[in-house]
A and B are shown apart, each in its own frame.
Chain A
Amino acid sequence: MSSGYERRTKQQLAQRVAEDIFDGAYVNLGIGMPTMVANYLRADMDVLLHSENGLLGMGSAPPEGEEDYDLINAGKQPVTLLPGGAYFHHADSFTMMRGGHLDICVLGAFQVSATGDIANWSTGEEGAIPAVGGAMDLAQGARETWVMMNLLTRQGESKLVERCAYPLTGLGCVKRIYTDLATLECSAEGLRLVDMVPGLDRETLETLVGLPIAAARSSVQA
């Protein structure tokens, strides 16, 4: 880019999301980029990761050769269980997700609207094999739904939109959007800036997104 700012790398974005996860939080990290957030959680905090297939207190990947495919994450990849972790069946797992017991879920998205609608399960493409998994349950059920994504598509179009064009996952459920250029809050009133990468200004960001973005609250470091 010719401008005077640099995008957050995937690692920096994961680190930025991890900064906002508090000690004691129960968290579900969606398949894909959100799983990277686990690498940046502070070791001196107890953050309990939930996996939809019946794990609480999920640990990192096992060392090579020690994979146990009865112990996998939502992406079906081998994981471990922390001391103090628990196994449970699907109805209990989705009670945790749908009953407001998870503090935070972090999801990837194709599009998010300024008022917090999310589209992340289907591109609506003709002939595509559909799959929804637990995305709709998480989006609706967690106390806070955060989205982690690049702000722009490869074609340079904003994934933050006035109204989602892709099939919806949930209505008005996203609270925060962490992107490679800025962190934003969404609400019924629209978008509000939380922070952005050095060298980027709010006017430029509004131009990229094509929507009004309220200034960050003065108590929040911009």
Chain B
Amino acid sequence: MINKVVTSVAEALGDIQDGATVLIGGFGTAGIPNELIDGLIAQGARDLTVVNNNAGNGDQGLAALLKAGRVRKIICSFPRQADSYVFDELYRSGKLELELVPQGNLAERIRAAGAGIGAFYCATAYGTELAGDREVREIDGRHYVLEYPIKGDVALIKAESGDRWGNLTYRKAARNFGPIMATAARTTIASVYDVRELGEIDPEAVVTPGIFVQRVVPVPRSVTRAGGFKS
């Protein structure tokens, strides 16, 4: 019998090692798995490499993990936001390494990791400083830069509903990086607001099939708060 539902966040996160690469879903505050991040802070793993689109909003979620000093390096596309002061301070004082990646490259490098692709060429960032010194190839008259996959030891994602086989649905634009990160980590842990019986989630509506998910943790429903812009 397969039962991926674990009853507590602490149980779900227990085996995360120091030095792990952790893929964290979310775009701004939408899709950020705050309960799992709080659990990771409590769990105590350090020296982490975190992959997220941003670098935390306000004092909660990813910002709290950064503030706790658990992160050595962050790989993201848009760290600077109206409320990214925790990141800003750590970055300016040299306490946090940043790998800045164009958002499409971030998504595709994660997708590639999940799909077993060794590397790929893409046009984004060609001729810019973000292409670094990576190999460039001209294909059909257009220039492309060689990009490598981003694999996670762990992915922490926020879903809406899940079942004991690990099938997941998402809510609105909180989906963002969740489905691709789920494919790209050795252990994918999803928080859900609803645990459904097998068959209750319409198979036509499953976004992440259970094969990509190792653990499903129910958390109390909470409303996504605003973040990332000046109101």
Q: Which residues of A contact B (CB under 8 A)?
A: 51-55, 67-72, 75-78, 81, 87-91, 93-94, 97-98, 127, 129-137, 140-141, 167-171
Contacts and interface: CB of A to CB of B under 8 A. Distances in A.
Contact of B174 (A70, A94, A136): A70
A167 B227 contact: no
A94 B104 contact: yes
Given A72-B30, A76-B229, A133-B77, A98 B173 contact: no
Interface stretch (B12-20, B39-47, B176-184, B194-202): B176-184
Given A70-B174, A72-B30, A141-B104, A132 B77 contact: yes
B165 interface: no
A68 B100 CA distance: 29
Contacts of A168: 127-129
B173 A75 contact: no
A193 B179 CA distance: 46
Interface of B: 27-31, 77-81, 84, 87-88, 91-92, 98, 100-108, 110-111, 122-130, 170-180, 207, 223-229
Given A76-B29, A90-B177, A131 B77 contact: yes
Nearest to A171: B127
A141 B128 contact: no
5 contacts: A87-B175, A89-B175, A89-B207, A134-B103, A167-B129
Nearest to B107: A90
B108 A91 contact: yes
Contacts of B108: 91, 94, 98
Given A130-B79, A132-B100, A53 B107 contact: no
B102 A69 contact: no
Contact of B91 (A76, A87, A129, A136): A129
A67 B178 CA distance: 22
Contact of B80 (A69, A131, A167): A131
B28 A140 contact: no
B94 to A, nearest CB: 11
The 3 nearest A-B residue pairs measured at CB: A76-B228, A137-B104, A94-B104
Contacts, number: 150
B182 to A, nearest CB: 10
B173 A72 contact: yes
B228 A140 contact: no
A127 B93 CA distance: 10
Contacts of B130: 132, 136
A214 to B, nearest CB: 25
B79 A69 contact: no
A96 to B, nearest CB: 10
Given A89-B207, A90-B176, A131-B78, A53 B104 contact: no
B60 to A, nearest CB: 13
A69 B103 contact: no
A69 B179 contact: no
Given A70-B173, A76-B28, A137 B127 contact: no
Nearest to B101: A132
A72 B88 CA distance: 23
A94 B104 CA distance: 5
Q: Which has the most chain B C-beta neighbours within 10 Å: A76, A87, A93? A: A76
B141 to A, nearest CB: 12
